[in-house]
Amino acid sequence: MGALTQRWERRNEPWNRRQRWRRERQIAGALVRHGLGLTLVQAKLGWLLPFQKGLLSHPRRDEPYSGPEHIRMAFEDLGPTFIKLAQILSTRADLIGPDYASELVRLQSAVPPIAFPDMAGVLDAELSGPRSEVFATFDTEPIGSASIGQVYRATLHSGDAVVVKIQKPNVQATVDLDLAILRRWIRRRVSHDPT
Protein backbone atom coordinates (compact mmCIF):
# COMPACT_ATOMS: atom_id res chain seq x y z
CA MET A 1 0.00 0.00 0.00
CA GLY A 2 1.47 3.34 -1.03
CA ALA A 3 2.05 6.32 1.22
CA LEU A 4 -0.61 8.33 -0.64
CA THR A 5 -3.21 5.60 -0.06
CA GLN A 6 -2.30 5.40 3.64
CA ARG A 7 -2.60 9.18 3.99
CA TRP A 8 -6.00 9.13 2.24
CA GLU A 9 -7.23 6.34 4.55
CA ARG A 10 -6.09 8.29 7.63
CA ARG A 11 -7.86 11.41 6.36
CA ASN A 12 -11.14 9.52 6.16
CA GLU A 13 -10.91 7.90 9.61
CA PRO A 14 -13.71 8.94 11.97
CA TRP A 15 -11.25 9.60 14.81
CA ASN A 16 -8.43 12.05 15.15
CA ARG A 17 -4.77 11.54 15.99
CA ARG A 18 -5.31 12.41 19.64
CA GLN A 19 -7.98 9.70 20.01
CA ARG A 20 -5.78 7.15 18.25
CA TRP A 21 -2.76 8.11 20.36
CA ARG A 22 -4.81 7.89 23.59
CA ARG A 23 -6.08 4.42 22.67
CA GLU A 24 -2.59 3.26 21.66
CA ARG A 25 -1.36 4.36 25.09
CA GLN A 26 -4.25 2.49 26.78
CA ILE A 27 -3.35 -0.67 24.87
CA ALA A 28 0.35 -0.28 25.71
CA GLY A 29 -0.52 0.44 29.35
CA ALA A 30 -2.58 -2.74 29.67
CA LEU A 31 0.23 -4.78 28.13
CA VAL A 32 2.83 -3.21 30.45
CA ARG A 33 0.62 -3.80 33.53
CA HIS A 34 0.57 -7.46 32.63
CA GLY A 35 4.32 -7.77 32.09
CA LEU A 36 4.25 -7.58 28.31
CA GLY A 37 6.24 -4.36 27.81
CA LEU A 38 9.19 -6.28 26.37
CA THR A 39 6.85 -7.74 23.75
CA LEU A 40 6.10 -4.20 22.56
CA VAL A 41 9.83 -3.46 22.28
CA GLN A 42 10.45 -6.70 20.38
CA ALA A 43 7.58 -5.84 18.01
CA LYS A 44 9.24 -2.46 17.31
CA LEU A 45 6.48 -0.66 19.21
CA GLY A 46 8.64 0.52 22.12
CA TRP A 47 7.86 4.12 21.17
CA LEU A 48 4.57 3.63 23.01
CA LEU A 49 6.26 3.02 26.35
CA PRO A 50 7.85 6.29 27.60
CA PHE A 51 6.44 7.67 30.84
CA GLN A 52 4.13 4.69 31.38
CA LYS A 53 2.02 5.05 34.53
CA GLY A 54 -0.80 3.10 36.08
CA LEU A 55 -1.76 0.71 38.83
CA LEU A 56 -2.66 -2.92 38.49
CA SER A 57 -6.40 -3.17 38.18
CA HIS A 58 -6.69 -6.84 39.11
CA PRO A 59 -6.85 -8.19 42.65
CA ARG A 60 -3.58 -8.95 44.33
CA ARG A 61 -3.03 -12.50 45.55
CA ASP A 62 -0.26 -14.43 47.28
CA GLU A 63 0.41 -16.65 44.28
CA PRO A 64 1.63 -14.68 41.25
CA TYR A 65 -0.48 -14.69 38.11
CA SER A 66 0.75 -17.00 35.36
CA GLY A 67 1.72 -15.79 31.88
CA PRO A 68 -1.55 -17.08 30.39
CA GLU A 69 -3.56 -15.34 33.14
CA HIS A 70 -1.78 -12.04 32.42
CA ILE A 71 -2.56 -12.38 28.72
CA ARG A 72 -6.26 -13.08 29.47
CA MET A 73 -6.49 -10.13 31.87
CA ALA A 74 -4.80 -7.81 29.35
CA PHE A 75 -7.34 -8.84 26.69
CA GLU A 76 -10.17 -8.32 29.22
CA ASP A 77 -8.87 -4.86 30.11
CA LEU A 78 -8.70 -3.83 26.45
CA GLY A 79 -12.34 -4.49 25.68
CA PRO A 80 -14.41 -5.93 22.85
CA THR A 81 -11.90 -6.10 20.00
CA PHE A 82 -9.29 -7.85 22.09
CA ILE A 83 -11.80 -10.11 23.85
CA LYS A 84 -13.04 -11.28 20.44
CA LEU A 85 -9.42 -11.82 19.33
CA ALA A 86 -8.78 -13.85 22.50
CA GLN A 87 -11.91 -15.93 21.84
CA ILE A 88 -10.62 -16.74 18.36
CA LEU A 89 -7.12 -17.52 19.63
CA SER A 90 -8.56 -19.80 22.31
CA THR A 91 -9.60 -22.22 19.57
CA ARG A 92 -6.04 -22.44 18.23
CA ALA A 93 -4.00 -24.31 20.83
CA ASP A 94 -1.78 -25.37 17.92
CA LEU A 95 -0.70 -21.71 17.53
CA ILE A 96 -0.58 -20.43 21.10
CA GLY A 97 -0.13 -23.59 23.16
CA PRO A 98 -2.58 -25.45 25.38
CA ASP A 99 -1.93 -23.38 28.54
CA TYR A 100 -2.78 -20.12 26.79
CA ALA A 101 -5.73 -21.64 24.92
CA SER A 102 -7.26 -23.05 28.11
CA GLU A 103 -6.92 -19.67 29.84
CA LEU A 104 -8.31 -17.65 26.92
CA VAL A 105 -11.26 -20.04 26.54
CA ARG A 106 -12.55 -18.50 29.79
CA LEU A 107 -13.41 -15.43 27.72
CA GLN A 108 -15.82 -17.53 25.65
CA SER A 109 -18.32 -17.46 28.50
CA ALA A 110 -16.96 -15.34 31.34
CA VAL A 111 -16.66 -11.80 30.01
CA PRO A 112 -17.01 -9.41 32.96
CA PRO A 113 -20.21 -7.33 32.70
CA ILE A 114 -20.26 -3.56 32.76
CA ALA A 115 -22.62 -1.66 35.07
CA PHE A 116 -26.20 -1.14 33.93
CA PRO A 117 -26.09 2.66 34.16
CA ASP A 118 -23.49 2.55 31.37
CA MET A 119 -25.78 0.29 29.31
CA ALA A 120 -29.00 2.22 30.02
CA GLY A 121 -28.05 5.10 27.73
CA VAL A 122 -27.67 2.72 24.78
CA LEU A 123 -31.03 1.06 25.51
CA ASP A 124 -32.87 4.36 25.97
CA ALA A 125 -31.42 5.73 22.71
CA GLU A 126 -32.56 2.60 20.82
CA LEU A 127 -36.05 2.74 22.33
CA SER A 128 -36.39 6.48 21.62
CA GLY A 129 -38.09 6.88 24.96
CA PRO A 130 -38.32 5.58 28.50
CA ARG A 131 -38.10 1.83 29.13
CA SER A 132 -41.38 1.93 31.05
CA GLU A 133 -43.28 2.57 27.79
CA VAL A 134 -42.04 -0.73 26.32
CA PHE A 135 -41.42 -2.96 29.33
CA ALA A 136 -43.56 -3.66 32.39
CA THR A 137 -40.42 -4.89 34.17
CA PHE A 138 -36.75 -4.78 33.29
CA ASP A 139 -34.14 -6.65 35.35
CA THR A 140 -30.98 -4.54 35.41
CA GLU A 141 -28.81 -7.51 36.39
CA PRO A 142 -27.43 -9.09 33.18
CA ILE A 143 -28.03 -12.81 32.62
CA GLY A 144 -25.14 -12.87 30.18
CA SER A 145 -22.22 -10.75 29.08
CA ALA A 146 -20.28 -11.08 25.85
CA SER A 147 -17.53 -9.13 24.14
CA ILE A 148 -19.87 -6.65 22.46
CA GLY A 149 -23.13 -6.86 24.40
CA GLN A 150 -25.07 -7.94 27.45
CA VAL A 151 -28.37 -9.78 27.84
CA TYR A 152 -31.19 -8.87 30.23
CA ARG A 153 -34.58 -10.28 31.23
CA ALA A 154 -37.66 -8.13 30.79
CA THR A 155 -41.43 -8.41 30.65
CA LEU A 156 -43.59 -6.64 28.09
CA HIS A 157 -46.85 -4.94 29.10
CA SER A 158 -48.65 -7.89 27.47
CA GLY A 159 -47.08 -10.16 30.10
CA ASP A 160 -44.70 -11.86 27.66
CA ALA A 161 -41.26 -12.58 29.05
CA VAL A 162 -38.49 -11.42 26.71
CA VAL A 163 -34.72 -11.33 26.57
CA VAL A 164 -33.11 -8.04 25.56
CA LYS A 165 -29.60 -7.87 24.14
CA ILE A 166 -27.92 -4.48 24.40
CA GLN A 167 -24.75 -3.58 22.55
CA LYS A 168 -22.09 -2.15 24.85
CA PRO A 169 -21.54 1.62 24.55
CA ASN A 170 -19.26 2.84 21.74
CA VAL A 171 -18.50 -0.71 20.57
CA GLN A 172 -18.44 0.09 16.85
CA ALA A 173 -16.17 3.11 17.26
CA THR A 174 -13.85 1.21 19.63
CA VAL A 175 -13.60 -1.81 17.32
CA ASP A 176 -12.96 0.39 14.28
CA LEU A 177 -10.25 2.33 16.10
CA ASP A 178 -8.63 -0.81 17.54
CA LEU A 179 -8.54 -2.49 14.12
CA ALA A 180 -6.99 0.63 12.57
CA ILE A 181 -4.36 0.67 15.32
CA LEU A 182 -3.59 -3.02 14.86
CA ARG A 183 -3.28 -2.54 11.08
CA ARG A 184 -0.92 0.39 11.70
CA TRP A 185 1.19 -1.62 14.14
CA ILE A 186 1.37 -4.57 11.75
CA ARG A 187 2.44 -2.30 8.87
CA ARG A 188 5.07 -0.72 11.12
CA ARG A 189 6.30 -4.15 12.23
CA VAL A 190 6.44 -5.47 8.66
CA SER A 191 8.30 -2.38 7.44
CA HIS A 192 10.94 -2.94 10.18
CA ASP A 193 11.21 -6.70 9.62
CA PRO A 194 14.68 -7.57 8.28
CA THR A 195 13.51 -10.87 6.71
Question: Of all residues in the chain, what percent carry a pLDDT higher than 70?
Answer: 76
Considering only 6-10, 62-66, 69-73, 183-187, which range has the smallest mean pLDDT?
6-10
Gap between the Cα atoms of 117 and 128, Å rounded: 17
Do 29 and 57 touch, CB atoms closer than 8 A? no
Residues 9-41 have pLDDT tens digits of 555 566 678 888 888 888 888 878 877 776 666
Higher pLDDT, 191 or 89: 89
- Cα 161 to Cα 153, 157, 158, 178: the distances in Å are 7, 9, 9, 37
pTM: 0.68
pLDDT reading at 184 higher than 80: yes
pLDDT over threshold 90, residue 112: no
What sign for the dihedral angle of Cα 189, 45, 82, 16?
negative
